[in-house]
Structure 1
Amino acid sequence: MEGRYDESPDSDTNGQQRYERMVLFILASVQFITIVDFMIVMPLGPQLMRTLQINPTQFGLIVSSYTFAAGVAGIVASSLADRFARRTTFLVLFAGFLLGTLCCGLAASYGVLLWARVVTGAFGGVLGGIAMAIIGDVFPEQRRGRATGTLMTGFALASVAGVPFGLVLGTNFGWQIPFIVLAVGGGPILILARVALPRLDSHIHDVQTNPLKSLVETFAHRNHLRAFALIVALMIGSFTVFPYLSAYLVSNVGMSENQLPLIYIVGGALTFVAAPIVGRLADHYGKRRIYRIVAPASALMLFVVTHLPATHVAIAVAAFGGLMVCNVGRMIPAMAIVTSSVRPERRGAFLSANSSVQHVASGIGAYLGGLIVVEAGDGKLENFGTVGWIAAAATLVTLWLVGRVEVAGDINPLATPSAASLAIAAAAEASVDAGEALVGLSGEHQIVKDVSTNVPVD
């Protein structure tokens, strides 16, 4: 079992910084791959339906199969996650995800692709929760917002680079190629994670309950339920709107399908810049304070985007970019708060369950939006404004919910990086520094106060 990395000499402090940046680089890379895998299916829809000769309902099942498989897997993982070292769990899940993604790329029929999406969702859906558990184990509470903001850059990069590039590959070489590229590209990250990540197993000795009891306790804890309620409201406030935005921008606002990549490129670029800034502000000024500033702005942007009339493309792109920034801006402090709501020895089970709740709530939000939005005879979408009102209202409700989630007692166990981890981090320091924009960290060392001793600590 590996202990804390808390040596005082400057060389050790620099080593810890390199180690933390390496952990974030690995997690953000995996986040990028999983998000591109999930998002790329939707814009490939026309090609999938034409090539596999399937109807829209069958295509919808391909999309939803990932989400529901992730939800079921999250429930199962919540009863088992804390019984194994974080690194072991992370490696198994990522390897299974890459295998499922490769099967998607090799699928030649609708049935095979459907089952491949189920496998990919079952493994990939839990990865996000384990990544947040690693963040919670490695980073102290006062730096957790910054680390969460860095992790969120995976979403921004997926939007600004991954999805457009995947569409180019799919359009020119076939829809299977993006999945094959993702699976092959994830191989080196899997190897790096095996060598560079610490075991993170200090929580295992605290696990004494059987899996079923662990599951019941996870969902019976009052503070956990408050955190789940916050996540549900956040997902309802997003997924009632986002699945239908592209269609609305084309049919109602006047954008062409060829112009749609602009919204992902601009929105992703803005998010890439904003996410680390929001993370630092959350750590410096308080996560609830920053959340209560960003959430009302998010509600306003939800209202604006869902009520956009026919307008210039630049205005539509700017509105969508503002919505993406606000959406990620509220998720960063919210996820940092949720991560801090559970004690370390229960963090893996809780965040796996939270991942399940998040996926199921996303599906409910998308289904609710589909019940309300209808297509008129002229091809325009009606009642999208109503969906915007619902999303904005759900977002405003979170202003009350976020104050109900309490920060659990956190002993802040920092795992010691292995010698191999530090060696790789030192050897790769130049490349990590060059790619610092990716992980969103500066090389400066922030001084904060330990809340239990009121003594400045690194």
Structure 2
Amino acid sequence: MSEPTLLPRRPSAGRYALALLLGVNLLNYIDRQVLYAVFPLIKADLALSDTALGLIGSAFMVCYMVSAPFFGWWGDRGSRPRLAAAGLALWSVATAAAGVAPGYRSLLAARAAVGIGEASFGTVSPGLLSDFFPKERRARILALFFLAIPVGSALGYLLGGLIGHRFGWHAAFLVVGLPGLALAVPLWLIREPARRKGEEDRNGSAPASGGYRSLLRNRTFVTNTLAMAAMTFALGGLAQWIPTFLFRMHGLDVARGNTLFGAITVVTGICGTLAGGWLGDLLQRRTPRGYLVVSAWGFVIGTPAAAWAILAPSLTHCLGAMFVAEFFLFLNTGPLNTVIVNVTRPAVRSMAFAVNIFFIHALGDAISPAVIGGLSDHLGLRTALLATPLAILAAALFSFLGGASIARDMDRAGE
């Protein structure tokens, strides 16, 4: 494969890349989350059990994580913008295809294809964006990029709930799927920046020498990935089942439940993500453990809040606790992703995000929807959802453990 054209970094190029990649990432999470907004409608229309319903979400995540290592290897050797653009086109078409799916199997296949398309974008985009900016601003830049998680997720819930309530779940997929095709060409044409040099380049070794093996020997990368996996288990389970929880336990219809949950998600997501990026960069100037300290305490505070959101008898207490829990969970988005960039060599960062994607989903939201669905069938949804605060507490433990090795691993990465 021919080498992509590498250009010097210019402030205007960085701002354009940030705006474009943020826009694509918004569509990424809208198309991902719209499914969960219409869960009750799909369940009623296709007469599915909770286990079967959860498997639709798991099909997306399994394909997403399994294809990520291939795209990570490709991204460190070829054009990252073109790989991301091809993935955007694929997942947009697949999302729209879910809107014409006649039954369970075709819907399952469409969501699996969405996972493959989104994996190509997810593995290359954080490293691509990081190469446009200096390391002192990374957490804030990545926090802006990952604002797409709360905002896109909220829009997915809002659009899915409103469109699904009025026109049916098929229409929801069609409306959110097709706009992505408009951004595929601009993304394809973005110019690749010069990749930042690391120790392996100064020492003259091959850029990707021992890439995947070296990542698994990187202690901070491993503990950080385990923290993100535990967080992803919790967030995946909550994201997919809270709208249904509000429908069943608090008597909200699909449109109102998704509107309330979406509003909480977008406000806490924006505030928590921006606060985490700012606090992470601030504390990182004082200690190499800064990003991990912010994340660890965010998880500690978020654990009891998530538990009370599930156990609270009234809707008001449930939503209030959910607000607190989501704020402190989103606090970790910028810092934990910045740790991946800081402790890995520049020439293997696409592979680093690929490994991270594989494990956080293999141990996280690839299994949590089906696990919670299965527990719900036997124990009830409220009891099943209590698995999520335990996962958040585990994420705090792994974040604290990562602080012991981060200075050494940043030095090895040339950071």
Same fold, TM-score > 0.5, yes or no: yes
- The amino acid that maps onto 2:269 is T
Aligned partner of 2:252 in structure 1 is 256
Are 2:54 and 2:369, in contact at CA under 8 Å, matched by a contact in 1?
no
Are 1:81 and 1:89, in contact at CA under 8 Å, matched by a contact in 2?
yes
**How far apart, in 1, do the equivalents of 2:74 and 2:56 lie?**
28
Deviation per CA, 1:394-429, whole angstroms, max 9, x where unpaired? 323321224423225667xxxxxxxxxxxxxxxxxx
Q: 1:2 to 1:233 in 2, by over 3 A?
A: closer
1:178 equivalent in alignment to 2:181: no
Aligned partner of 2:326 in structure 1 is 324
Aligned partner of 1:65 in structure 2 is 59
TM-score (norm 1): 0.76
Q: Residue 146 of structure 2 aligns to a residue in which SS? A: helix
**How far apart, in 2, do the equivalents of 1:165 and 1:385 lie?**
28
Q: Quote the offset at 1:136 in angstroms.
A: 2.4
Deviation per CA, 1:78-118, whole angstroms, max 9, x where unpaired? 33221211112111221222222222223222222211111
Q: 1:284 to 1:190 in 2, by over 3 A?
A: same
Deviation per CA, 1:133-179, whole angstroms, max 9, x where unpaired? 21222222111111111011111212433321222112212212232
| Off by >6 Å, runs of 4+ in structure 1 | 203-210
Deviation per CA, 1:250-287, whole angstroms, max 9, x where unpaired? 666x4634345313202311321332333233223317
- The amino acid that maps onto 1:328 is F
TM-score (norm 2): 0.83
Q: Quote the offset at 1:312 in angstroms.
A: 4.1
1:147 equivalent in alignment to 2:150: no
Are 1:229 and 1:401, in contact at CA under 8 Å, matched by a contact in 2?
yes
Pairs within 5 Å for 1:47-446:
47-195=41-189, 197-200=190-193, 217-222=211-216, 224=218, 226-240=220-234, 242=238, 243-246=240-243, 254=250, 256-257=252-253, 258-286=256-284, 288-308=289-309, 309-363=311-365, 366=368, 370=372, 373=375, 381-382=382-383, 384-385=385-386, 387-405=388-406, 406-407=409-410
Aligned length: 396
Over aligned residues, Cα RMSD in angstroms? 3.2
Q: 1:218 to 1:344 in 2, by over 3 A?
A: same
Q: Residue 83 of structure 1 aligns to a residue in which SS? A: coil
Aligned partner of 1:2 in structure 2 is 6
- The amino acid that maps onto 2:356 is N
**How far apart, in 1, do the equivalents of 2:219 and 2:413 lie?**
19
Q: 1:256 to 1:54 in 2, by over 3 A?
A: closer
Q: Residue 106 of structure 1 aligns to a residue in which SS? A: coil
- The amino acid that maps onto 2:80 is R
**How far apart, in 2, do the equivalents of 1:290 and 1:70 lie?**
27
**How far apart, in 2, do the equivalents of 1:122 and 1:328 lie?**
25
Aligned partner of 1:37 in structure 2 is 31
- Could you tell me which runs of 5 or more consecutive residues in structure 1 were left unpaired when the two chains were aligned: 6-15, 412-450, 452-458
- Could you tell me which runs of 5 or more consecutive residues in structure 2 were left unpaired when the two chains were aligned: none
Percent identical pairs in the alignment equals 17
Are 1:295 and 1:396, in contact at CA under 8 Å, matched by a contact in 2?
yes
**How far apart, in 2, do the equivalents of 1:383 and 1:48 lie?**
21
Q: 1:122 to 1:381 in 2, by over 3 A?
A: same
Are 2:220 and 2:405, in contact at CA under 8 Å, matched by a contact in 1?
yes
**How far apart, in 2, do the equivalents of 1:222 and 1:166 lie?**
39
**How far apart, in 1, do the equivalents of 2:79 and 2:378 lie?**
53
